[in-house]
Structure 1
Amino acid sequence: MKKLLEISLGVVTSIGGFLEMGEMSTAAQAGAAFNVQLVWAVVLGTICVAFLVEMAGRFSAVSGHTIIDGIRDRFGIKVLAWPLVTTVLVSLLVLSAEIGGVSIALEFATGITYRWWAVPVAVASWLFLWRGTFGMLEKGVTSLGLITLCFVVAAFRLQPDWAQVAASAIPSKPHTQAATYWFMAASILGASLSPTLFLFYSSGAIEDRWDRSYVGANRAIAALGMTFGGVISAAVLVVAAQSMHAHGIESIEDFHQLPLLLIDTFGMWGFALFAASLAIASFGAAVEVALLQGYLFAQSFGWNWGQDCPPRANPGFSLAYTCALVIGAIPIAAGADPLKLTILSMALTAVNLPLMVVPFIVLMNDEHYMGEHRNGPVSNAAVLGITGLAFVLGVVTLPLQIIGGT
């Protein structure tokens, strides 16, 4: 029972992957453009990420390695270099989007344009990492992130056709705007299946000193944590379908439209709830993604790492997340549109996903690392199948969206 109380690792991981600028904006765009038709993408993404996160926790608990450690040890640094470089680059785009999410929320609260908030948000994230502990991240972000349950409340209060919502859990072809439909599906899957989630979870398991006794609890922690994120992501899509699509708003062209998600249900309190939800979820995600940069570099090059150690004991680790925050703030401070940046980064995540997932699947089937806890055929098939779908959708639809195809 005590181990199950560590569900905060699962929830904070889901907040970093589901309940942030990426998932909110992609789900909102999908609901506005296609009603509830893309609920299936949220469902598929949630199922697959639950498998991936459970596998990540099981790998760390059984082998005593993080995923990056394992790939380096099993394949060597040359093989690790490809997924490392692409994951770092895409994660930096995601980090910019999350800094943009907090900055937008602060613009809503103060009226000061978002670009002026980029540097203060990056500094606040850095101070949290520099002075905080991993436990503070787990418990703090998890507790504050519960505010995002307001989307679930809004979904029920708007009284959608739940039979239609349930039917939309099965994939279907679009009636119009096929390229945009499949691009949005790829973006939703990319937002759900970001390598950030399972790489962070793997490192978190080592931070929390998991061992083989956590294998059983890990299943519940991963399932409950990812389900929490998936339910709220689906709720955002349903709310967008009811509050935007139903009122003739079929495209979110500007982030200033996003608070409309909750205003129909909660009035002006909805504006405050949306701003608070976006700020808290995006800040938690920004801290998580920046911390992941430290994990990626430190674990790849064999440096000391650990959020609970003072920065002077882990200089390379601390420098990596510091540089990531500096780089991540630049596009937002320069005036990049956070909404467009977010949608693009989510689709690129889907394209990048196989580079990290394929070697990870090999590790999960390696008796040397996993022994009797190796993957079964169901886990392998589910992860490879949905990862392949996300990759194909991203590769096919990303060029069409860049050149303006529909």
Structure 2
Amino acid sequence: MVETRTEDGTGRGERRDTTSGFFQRYGLAFVMVASVVGAGSIFVASSAGIQYGYTLIWAFVGVALIGVMAQDMSARLEIFGEPLGAFMRRKFGERLAVAIGFVLSIGAFLWVIELTAATAKGIAVLTGGAIGWMPLAIAVTVLSILTGVLNYDGLERVMTAMLFVLFGAYLVVTGASAPSPVGIASGLVPAFPGPGALGLTASILGSTAIWSNFFLESNLVEEKDWTGAEDVPAMRRDLLLGYGIAAILIVLVLIVCAAVLRPAGYDQLGSFITPGLALAETIGQWAMVLFLVGAAAAAFNSIMPVVWSVVYLFENARGKDVDSADRSFKLLYTVGAAFGVLGPVISLTTGMSVVDMIVLFPAYSGIVSLPVTAVLLFWAINSEAVMGEHTNGTVSNAVNAVLVVLAFVLAALSAPDLLSSLGVLP
């Protein structure tokens, strides 16, 4: 195909058909938000709907905007400077950069374990327990490895297709739940309905502002051939589309739970699959199947970008040129995704349930990985040595600083609960 730039500057290459044209303009953000729309975000959105009805819809919309701003920083970092992992190497040297990368990546590996377990648990429920979640976790791990070793273009298409399927499934279930338009509209107005809402809002931030995406997007913009200032508008349109769909999708989960479970008397969420089971009682078996298929698919779809980000992080920190088609890249990805098989081991040795993993394991990322990464990103985007004349302006810094502040607020709010759950605090 002859390489050219289109008149609007939004993509390169002659578009042979609608599909290829779409993926030349969009798609990168869908890889990012695949990790946002996972078991954690579904669990948090379901909890918000059950506990507070429609009241916290505004928080998901606001956090999605913060996610767009953070990803915009990450993308501009690569367009005008270098990937975030390379910045770490520049500032700390290879050994310390790799050490910091290891500390951050513990959160990613814990994510892989709980996402694999969540996917397996969802499949186990859908099959009526014919196969337990533990053996299914091994099958899910193998499937995530086979899917994740696809080259970037293939992985982008798989994740985008799955997100649109999820969107359609939850949209159908939401329509059948007959939500209140007035309640939804009122939920767009910021309010804290109770003392526990602040902590839940922090969880919303932790499940939406995914730290690993900061490393991933600062590498992947090159895959879209976004390499100059003229490409920034296209990058931002992609981010707004991807995060817009992700935010709507997660809000749909909240709306379903607010419209169906809360009136039915549910006051807490025992598992991320509880909404599906309740929907079977109130709407019908088909609604449960759609909801649980969506929950399992969302968890699975999150595994690949999380592991990819770790590979890019370590390769950048070591000063390596990264190519997703290289054998070394695929080998590192395979090792990272293989952590998924540890879910059954952890459950058997500690007695943890899948729900325990979903609740506890992401906490490490919220308490450690997100604050550290937010500071690194803010530092890099303001470094003249890296960004030249494209560093953040005063207004951008004021807005982007919100992410850093909220990251530390999240850590402060989450740490006591995590330590208490682990038995460190009473």
* Same fold, TM-score > 0.5, yes or no: yes
Contact persistence 2:98–2:318 (CA under 8 A)? no
Amino acid of the residue matched to residue 387 of structure 2? M
Contact persistence 1:151–1:262 (CA under 8 A)? no
1:380 Cα shift?
2.2
The percentage of aligned residue pairs carrying the same residue is: 24
* Other-structure match for 1:247: 264
Contact persistence 2:375–2:404 (CA under 8 A)? no
**1:381 aligned onto 2:398:** yes
TM-score (norm 1): 0.88
Equivalent in 335, 359, 365 of residue 349 of structure 1? 365
1:251 Cα shift?
0.7
Contact persistence 1:243–1:260 (CA under 8 A)? no
Distance across 1 between alignment mates of 2:123 and 2:146: 18
Structure 1 residues 30 and 10, CA gap change in structure 2 (3 angstroms): same
Distance across 1 between alignment mates of 2:64 and 2:395: 16
1:253 Cα shift?
1.2
Alignment deviations for residues 198-240 of structure 1 (CA, whole Å, 9 cap, x no partner):
3222222133443104222111111111111111111111211
Task: Describe how 1:6-405 pairs up with structure 2 within 5 A.
Answer: 6-17=25-36, 19-63=37-81, 65-77=82-94, 80=97, 83-110=100-127, 111=129, 112-130=131-149, 132-149=150-167, 150-175=169-194, 178=195, 180-212=196-228, 213-260=230-277, 263=280, 267-309=284-326, 311=327, 314=328, 317-335=329-347, 336-352=352-368, 353-400=370-417, 402-403=419-420
Amino acid of the residue matched to residue 33 of structure 2? S
Contact persistence 1:182–1:397 (CA under 8 A)? no
Alignment deviations for residues 280-331 of structure 1 (CA, whole Å, 9 cap, x no partner):
322221111122221121111123432123x1xx2xx344322222323202
Secondary structure in 2 aligned to 1:169? coil
Contact persistence 1:298–1:304 (CA under 8 A)? yes
1:12 Cα shift?
2.2
User: Which runs of 5 or more residues in structure 1 are unaligned?
Assistant: none
* Larger Rg belongs to: 2
Structure 1 residues 337 and 124, CA gap change in structure 2 (3 angstroms): same
* Other-structure match for 2:11: 2
Contact persistence 1:118–1:333 (CA under 8 A)? no
Alignment deviations for residues 235-290 of structure 1 (CA, whole Å, 9 cap, x no partner):
11121111211211111113441314754786222222123222332222111112
CA RMSD of aligned residues (A): 2.6
Distance across 1 between alignment mates of 2:365 and 2:138: 25
Secondary structure in 1 aligned to 2:200? helix
Distance across 1 between alignment mates of 2:113 and 2:69: 27
Distance across 2 between alignment mates of 1:225 and 1:121: 25
Amino acid of the residue matched to residue 267 of structure 1? G
Distance across 2 between alignment mates of 1:10 and 1:261: 32
Amino acid of the residue matched to residue 322 of structure 1? T
Structure 1 residues 240 and 394, CA gap change in structure 2 (3 angstroms): farther
